[in-house]
Amino acid sequence: MELELQEKGYLQLAIPESKLVVRDTITSAAKVDFKKPHYPLLFIAGDMDHTIPHQLNYDNYKKYTDKNSITDYKIFPGRNHFVLGQPGWEEIAIYILEWLEKQKNE
């Protein structure tokens, strides 16, 4: 992603946050029961994401094991962590919309 687009995205979207937010991810409040039934869940990833690498995203996707729940994973080539903020985001939005429509009709 071009530096100019990175800076623009940062200035428009970055919000100062408490450093304590990360702490909450290691407490019991963040515990997820991966075997529990859940609503349809779509994981999306960019293959160039260095913040949440696509392999980590895929590993999280694989943890959801309820056979009656829908869990899908889609990797988008040439995308970084700012998947929906990069030029061409419309293609990804269309994919997500079509996925949602499919879930609604099942």
Structural domain includes residue 24: no
pTM to 2 decimal places: 0.80
pLDDT at 9 (0 to 100): 78
Give the model's pLDDT for residue 61.
Answer: 97
* The pLDDT value given to residue 45: 96
SS3 36: coil
38/3 Cα distance (integer angstroms): 39
Is residue 13 domain-resident?
Answer: no
| Burial track 21-53 (b if 16+ CB lie within 10 A, e otherwise) | eeeeeeeeeeeeeeeeeeeeeebbbbebbeeee
Question: 63 in a domain, yes or no?
Answer: yes
Tally of structural domains, the chain: 1
pLDDT of amino acid 34: 95
DSSP conformational letter for 54: H
H or E segment and range at residue 44? strand 41-46
* pLDDT in single tens digits along all 106 residues of the chain: 788 887 887 778 777 777 777 777 778 878 899 999 999 999 999 999 999 999 999 999 999 999 999 999 999 999 999 888 889 999 999 999 999 999 998 7
CB 48 within 8 A of CB 41: no
The 10 Å Cβ neighbour count of residue 77 is: 8
Residue 11 lies in a domain: no
